[in-house]
C-alpha cells in the first residue's frame, strides 16, 4: 500500500513550507517549545503504511448496536473524504501548526458514532460504556479520531493509550474531534502513559450543542515531549464542560493546554489540574477561559496546583481568564507547594513505611481531583482507573529513587 497524498495533504505541506514552524517565544509555547518541524513532518520514506491500532470494546451492559465504528484509511481518496467530513481546518491559534502537520501526515482514522440503534431500546437514559484502546501504528503515527454522540445519549468512554517501553523513540501526533448533540453527555476518561523517549502531541477539539455536557478526566505522565491540548466550544445555551487532570512528571516534560470559549448564556465550565513533579521535570499548565459578550450568567472556575515530590522540577502555572461580559461568575487560582509534613506523619501512624505512606497520600489527592470532574465517582473504579492511577503513582515515585 502506498502513501500517495490527497490534495488537502499537499495543501497542508505547502502551507507549512510557506509559514514555517512554531516561532520562539510563541505565547502558548513560551515556556516549553516543541521539537523542530522535522520531527513531526518526516520525509515520505518514513511515512509507513497505516495499520489498525484501534480496539473498541463495549461494556457489560452495552449492546453492539449502540455504537458504530468505521476504520478509514486516509491514503484512499474516498475514505479520506469520509474521514475528514465535517472536520474543520486548523484555526489561527499558536497550536494550529500541529493541525496542519496532522493534515499532511494523517495515516489512519476512526469515526465513532455513539447512538442507540436498537429497535427494542428501552430507555434513552441508559448509559453506554465503551473502552477504546489506542496503540501506535508505527514509530511515526498520526491518527485521527472523530466521535459523534447522538442527542440525549449518555456515554462513558475510557480511552487508553498503550505504549511499548522497549521500542525505539516514537512520535505521535493525534487529533480528536468530538461533537455532542443536544442534551448529550460524554464522560471521557483518558489515560496516556508514554514510554520515556516518546514525543507526543494530542489535540482534543470538543463542540457542544444546547444542554450538552462534556466531562473529561485525564491521567497522564511525562515523556521526552508531551503536549496535551483540549479546546472546548461552549457556544450553545446551557452547555457545560468539566475537566479534571492528574499529571505525573519525573525527569521528563509535559505541557497541558486547556482552552474554553463561552459564547452562550448559562454555560458553565470547570478546569482543575494537579501536577506531581519530580527530579528534573519540566512542566507547564495553561488554562485559558474566554467569556464573550452576551454570555449571560456564565460560570467558570480554574484551579491549577503543583506539588514537587522530589528533586528540583521546573514548573509554570498559567491560569488566564478573558472576560468581556459583566453578568458572570468567575474564579481562578494557582498553588505550588510541598506536601505538609503532618499528612505524611499521620499516614506513618497507620503502620506504613514512608514510600507507601507517600504513595497513599498522592493517590488520594489525584483521586479527589478526578472524582470532582464526574457525576458518579464510582465510575473510576468501574472502569478500573483507580488501579491504573495507583500503578502510575508507584512508577512515578520509583523513577526518582536514588
State how far the Cα of 74 lies from the Cα of 107, in Å rounded to an integer.
6
Could you list the beta-strand ranges (E) of 135-281. 140-141, 143-149, 154-161, 171-180, 185-192, 199-208, 213-221, 225-234, 240-250, 253-262, 268-279
State how far the Cα of 265 lies from the Cα of 252, in Å rounded to an integer.
41
The side-by-side arrangement of strands in the sheet containing 328-336 is: 54-58, 127-134, 154-161, 185-192, 213-221, 240-250, 268-279, 298-311, 328-336
Nearest C-alpha neighbor of 152 from the set 98, 212, 92: 212
Task: Report the b/e string of 80-118 with b at 16+ CB within 10 A.
Answer: beebbeebeebeebbbbbbbbbbbbbbbbbbbbebbbee
**For residue 1, what pLDDT is reported?**
36
- Helix (H, G, I), strand (E, B), or coil: what is residue 103? helix
Grid coordinates in use for 338? 510541598
**At residue 128, does pLDDT exceed 60?**
yes
Q: What is the mean pLDDT of residues 384-395?
A: 93
62-116, pLDDT tens digit by residue? 888 899 999 999 989 999 999 999 999 998 888 999 999 999 999 899 999 999 7
Amino acid at each position: 500500500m502506498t502513501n500517495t497524498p490527497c490534495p488537502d495533504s499537499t495543501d497542508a505541506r505547502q502551507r507549512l513550507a510557506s509559514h514555517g514552524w512554531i516561532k520562539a517565544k510563541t505565547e502558548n509555547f513560551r515556556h516549553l517549545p516543541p521539537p523542530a518541524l522535522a520531527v513531526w513532518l518526516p520525509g515520505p520514506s518514513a511515512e509507513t503504511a497505516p495499520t489498525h491500532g484501534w480496539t473498541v470494546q463495549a461494556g457489560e451492559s452495552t449492546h453492539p448496536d449502540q455504537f458504530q465504528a468505521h476504520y478509514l484509511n486516509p491514503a484512499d481518496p474516498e475514505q479520506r473524504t469520509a474521514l475528514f467530513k465535517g472536520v474543520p481546518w486548523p484555526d489561527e491559534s499558536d497550536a494550529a501548526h500541529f493541525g496542519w502537520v496532522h493534515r499532511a501526515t494523517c495515516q489512519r482514522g476512526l469515526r465513532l458514532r455513539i447512538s442507540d440503534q436498537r429497535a427494542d431500546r428501552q430507555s434513552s437514559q441508559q448509559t453506554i460504556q465503551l473502552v477504546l484502546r489506542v496503540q501506535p501504528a508505527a514509530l511515526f503515527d498520526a491518527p485521527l479520531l472523530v466521535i459523534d454522540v447522538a442527542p440525549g445519549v449518555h456515554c462513558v468512554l475510557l480511552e487508553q493509550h498503550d505504549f511499548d517501553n522497549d521500542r525505539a523513540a516514537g512520535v505521535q501526533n493525534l487529533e480528536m474531534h468530538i461533537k455532542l448533540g443536544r442534551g448529550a453527555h460524554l464522560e471521557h476518561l483518558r489515560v496516556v502513559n508514554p514510554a520515556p523517549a516518546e514525543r507526543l502531541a494530542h489535540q482534543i477539539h470538543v463542540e457542544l450543542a444546547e444542554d450538552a455536557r462534556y466531562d473529561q478526566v485525564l491521567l497522564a505522565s511525562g515523556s521526552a515531549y508531551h503536549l496535551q491540548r483540549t479546546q472546548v466550544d461552549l457556544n450553545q445555551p446551557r452547555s457545560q464542560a468539566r475537566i479534571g487532570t492528574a499529571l505525573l512528571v519525573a525527569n521528563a516534560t509535559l505541557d497541558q493546554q486547556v482552552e474554553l470559549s463561552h459564547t452562550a448564556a448559562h454555560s458553565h465550565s470547570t478546569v482543575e489540574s494537579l501536577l506531581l513533579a519530580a527530579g528534573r521535570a519540566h512542566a507547564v499548565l495553561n488554562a485559558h477561559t474566554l467569556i464573550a459578550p452576551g454570555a449571560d450568567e456564565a460560570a467558570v472556575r480554574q484551579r491549577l496546583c503543583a506539588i514537587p515530590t522530589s528533586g528540583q522540577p521546573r514548573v509554570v502555572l498559567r491560569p488566564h481568564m478573558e472576560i468581556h461580559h459583566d453578568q458572570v461568575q468567575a474564579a481562578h487560582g494557582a498553588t505550588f507547594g510541598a506536601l505538609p509534613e503532618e499528612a505524611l506523619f499521620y499516614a506513618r501512624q497507620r503502620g506504613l513505611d514512608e514510600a507507601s505512606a507517600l504513595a497513599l497520600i498522592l493517590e488520594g489527592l489525584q483521586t479527589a481531583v478526578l472524582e470532582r470532574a464526574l457525576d458518579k465517582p464510582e465510575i473510576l473504579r468501574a472502569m478500573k482507573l483507580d488501579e491504573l492511577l495507583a500503578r502510575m503513582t508507584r512508577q512515578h515515585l520509583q523513577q526518582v529513587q536514588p
